[in-house]
Chains A and B, each alone.
Chain A
């Protein structure tokens, strides 16, 4: 069949006549994608929820990263003579039972939360993604085995798992990380598995398979790019949960070891002296509230923009 180029050009925007129609189509698609990205960015920038979340998250990251430069005191420096003082010019939000500067300890506590959140969420996301894809793409018996594993892990309440583990190993930051990772993996894995199952019978996957592509190639080159988007949104929503879990475990004495400052330990120490001075509880609670609020707002805004279907089920 012959094609009349002049007929194709009628009513079309100026397109280089020397280019093939496939290239023109690609350009159009690219432009459409750019338009879509601009539209999403505009939606994000005009969302009060998204911007508030972004600002809070940036403040959290900045204060944690630059804590050594922002903190007026060594967070572990003991000053018994000044114990349990209220806010003063020297100690903006007072001191704890050992006279340590609460403001400095809160800044350093942010570093613990950041470390747990960054490492915990990223490791559990990667492992959950891989296991979920394997479960969704692999044979039925492997799927059943992994599902059983995911459900078994999810059946353990985080605190009970932490208590049992601490009884064996003693509390530590590494333990908190391990618990966060182990208990988070099944969430990512289940989402990845479901998405992989829906892609498994897609034409482009069947085509790849018929062309002899290896399973790892299919999973990492074709399935993963289509699965990872919802997982990233889930990860953003998971950060406040992880920060709260760390604070909760540290509050219970199952987290970081003394004298390391963590928002949970500050809250615990503050709770013990709340009748003497309420400042530690207030100071320990505010960053926790703002950080979880920031990540929640940010995650919800991203979800509404990038995957509005996920929000409808609420």
Chain B
């Protein structure tokens, strides 16, 4: 018998050889032949309940297993909506009434009977008392006409209700009977499903979608969807190149590389640019209470360098919170432009020397690069910045008064929000009552608050444009924002797969198609 002797050096040599082998050219990209679609999941699904979810991948799961009345429809470069196959009819009767009739034959799993208009009423009226109640602020009630028909009644004219609410995760319909049985809240298991797929979760490993035996609607293009959990974008990109995934999100560098030289058998699909990123400043912090100092910081940051250095020129420059293609999008800033000398003059005017600030950011590649460019820019005008990278948990809690005291120490941070295809959604986070919740900059403006209400009521697009432009001017005038970019949600996929993504980037697997 041969004895196998493994020494430390032999192990190191073997590892080095394996590493070198890994650098060799990869095999061809996976083709989606067969009935299984393999996609990346960026983390564990924690709460599937639409009222208490975090969003993102949880919304993706809801779209596969729960009924929705409306869905996004891409028309050229913009998004509109269309009824889903869960409804026979969905019509806006007037500015405050939306009529619907559910499709025939829809049944809940687990013997909970047919999907009814009462379930719609229960689901939407319940949302008004949940963490996602903001999406249902305009909802007054749902009137049930018969078993499958009803009317959504709004308490004020709110044109974007279908796009913002019904097409998005909060618009999911739940089984009233099943919900009552589980105590009206759930986490990682749907009480009852009605959709083409059923979901099986293995924490830390994967989500698996298999055919729902009770489903009577149209069959999706793929029988099974396997979603291994891959937290790192780069690891997912490598998995795609190794043929392990059919589709995955890509980072800015990879997007630039693929755009310049697209690999054979692969394509890029951009889900949308409905994300806005900015450098935020806490107007309540003693170091930043003086607007002149904030204005100096606005003038000191070279946004073009960030777009090139951190995002490889793949993103659109931002001039506010309203994203490209939406009413209210601005084309320039009004109160600042990159001018380091002006920044130095403003700091001198404020009598500030040797200012030390902390910039908090998510510890992702692009954010870290952007933070370092800002650090260098501010060092150039005499502000010493310490970059503090954070995991998503502490990062998303740091400005919320209900989650601790970090909000008091906040000085600078890099933030990105996603939004829906209506300007109302983006503006809602900066009203006075959002101070300490999502308005981390902590300014208030009566004019902004009243314009927010006006924007919801107004239906004339031109007037709405003026309202939302003015709201962004108010934000910029506070000195608390340096607008950075609108980052696209870009997906690389094998060319035989047609990707379906929401404008805010969530994938809808049941609407994927074969090319």
Contact = CB atoms under 8 A, between A and B. Distances in A.
A170 B309 contact: no
A287 interface: no
B309 A167 contact: no
Interface in B442-468: none
Interface residues of B, number: 28
Interface stretch (B72-80, B361-369, B425-433, B507-515): B361-369
Contact of B375 (A80, A167, A259): A259
A58 interface: no
Contacts of A278: 23
Interface stretch (B169-177, B190-198, B386-394): B386-394
Contact of B391 (A78, A167, A259, A273): A167
A97 B309 contact: yes
Contact of B387 (A257, A271, A276): A257
A45 B43 CA distance: 55
B376 A275 contact: no
Dominant SS among interface residues on chain B: helix
B253 A273 contact: yes
A78 B309 contact: yes
Interface string B323-367: 000000000000000000000000000000000000000010100
Contacts of B253: 97, 272-273, 276
Contacts of A98: 309, 369, 372-373
A170 B388 contact: yes
Candidate in A167, A253, A275, A278 with the most chain B CB atoms within 10 angstroms: A275
A171 interface: yes
B93 to A, nearest CB: 52
B394 A171 contact: no
Contacts of A253: 363, 389
B165 interface: no
Contact of A259 (B234, B254, B372): B372
B372 A78 contact: yes
Contact of A272 (B23, B365, B391, B393): B365
A78 to B, nearest CB: 5
Contacts of B391: 167
Contacts of A276: 253, 257
A167 B394 contact: yes
Interface string B378-416: 000000001111110110000000000000000000000
Nearest to B389: A253
A137 to B, nearest CB: 35
Contact of A258 (B257, B389, B390): B389
Contact of B309 (A76, A80, A258, A273): A80
Contact of A171 (B309, B310, B389): B389
Given A98-B309, A272-B253, A258 B234 contact: no
Contacts of A80: 305, 308-309, 373
- Most chain-A CB neighbours within 10 Å: which of B237, B251, B365, B371? B365
Interface string B300-331: 00000100111000000000000000000000
**Closest 3 pairs (CB-CB, A-B):** A80-B309, A258-B387, A78-B376
14 contacts: A78-B309, A78-B372, A97-B309, A98-B369, A98-B373, A167-B394, A170-B389, A253-B363, A253-B389, A258-B389, A259-B375, A259-B387, A271-B234, A275-B257
Given A272-B234, A275-B237, 9 more contacts: A78-B309, A78-B372, A80-B309, A167-B394, A258-B372, A259-B387, A275-B254, A275-B257, A278-B23
